[in-house]
């Protein structure tokens, strides 16, 4: 499985302009700093939905693709068809581990939301690895968004799962939580 960043639509300038409209300021009056971007992301203000990203996985197992397709808000999924009339292969003979291509178009808010579920240690190991591979493709392009893509236990500050993995009791968790919270008191 390989994850690939394809493109980004929308800019931080557009996010700032939308934010300025909501607070009765003129558009284009400030350049978004890294600190401002992080604050907008952590506050989850609606203008972050102006940032869209296209990603693609190649050779993704079908059953992993199904996990991602369950996410519906702020994301569109395009999965290579396994229909018999399109492939010439009897669909009934394809196993769940058959490989597909899966492309997503997603806004920044949904990228953060999906991360909360798919980075959880209770998510399937393979699905978590596929999501981590996708996030790695934006780490250098959008470090502020990347830093906000954390599992729910980090986001909430505790674990609410019926069967916790116990991660929230570890020193590693405490360090990750401190790193996430760094700079929250702007």
> pLDDT digit string (tens) for 79-129?
998 888 888 888 888 888 889 999 999 999 999 999 999 999 999 999 999
| Best CA proximity match to 40, nearest among 30, 52, 49 | 49
Q: What is the pLDDT of residue 133?
A: 98
What domains can be seen in the chain, in order of their start residue? 2-152 (3.30.1360.170)
* CA 21 to centroid of chain Cα atoms: 27
pLDDT tens-place values along the chain, 186 residues long: 999 999 999 999 999 999 999 888 887 767 899 999 999 999 999 999 999 999 999 999 999 999 999 999 999 999 998 888 888 888 888 888 889 999 999 999 999 999 999 999 999 999 999 999 999 999 999 999 999 999 999 999 999 999 999 999 999 999 999 999 886 665
Return the H-helix or E-strand segment holding 37. helix 34-43
- Interior/surface letters 138-163, b for 16+ CB within 10 angstroms, e for the rest: beeebebbbbbbbbbbbbeeebeeee
Calculate the CA dihedral of residues 95, 96, 99, 101 and round it to 10 degrees. Answer: 130
In degrees and rounded to multiples of 5, residue 74 shows phi and psi of: 75, 15
In degrees and rounded to multiples of 5, residue 120 shows phi and psi of: -65, 140
The tally of CA atoms less than 13 A away on the side-chain side of residue 93 is 5
Order of strands across the sheet with 75-79?
2-9, 52-61, 99-107, 75-79
Instruction: Determine contact, residues 53/108, Cβ cutoff 8 Å.
Output: yes
Q: What is the pTM of this model?
A: 0.91
| Best CA proximity match to 155, nearest among 96, 183, 115 | 115
Token code pair at residue 33 = 């700093």
């Amino acid at each position: 499985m390989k994850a690939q960043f394809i493109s980004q639509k929308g800019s931080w300038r557009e996010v700032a302009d939308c934010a300025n409209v909501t607070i009765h300021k003129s558009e284009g009056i400030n350049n978004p700093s890294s600190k401002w971007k992080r604050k907008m992301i952590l506050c989850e203000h609606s203008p972050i939905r102006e940032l869209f990203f296209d990603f693609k996985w190649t050779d993704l197992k079908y059953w992993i693709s199904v996990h991602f397709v369950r996410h519906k808000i702020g994301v569109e999924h395009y999965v290579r068809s396994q229909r018999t009339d399109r492939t010439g292969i009897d669909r009934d003979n394809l196993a769940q581990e058959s490989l597909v291509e899966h492309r997503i178009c997603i806004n920044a808010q949904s990228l953060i939301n999906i991360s909360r579920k798919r980075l959880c240690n209770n998510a399937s190991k393979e699905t978590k690895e596929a999501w981590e591979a996708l996030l790695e493709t934006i780490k250098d392009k959008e470090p502020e968004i990347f830093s906000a893509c954390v599992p729910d236990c980090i986001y909430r500050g505790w674990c609410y799962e019926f069967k916790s993995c116990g991660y929230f009791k570890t020193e590693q968790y405490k360090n990750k939580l401190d790193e996430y919270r760094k700079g929250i008191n702007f």
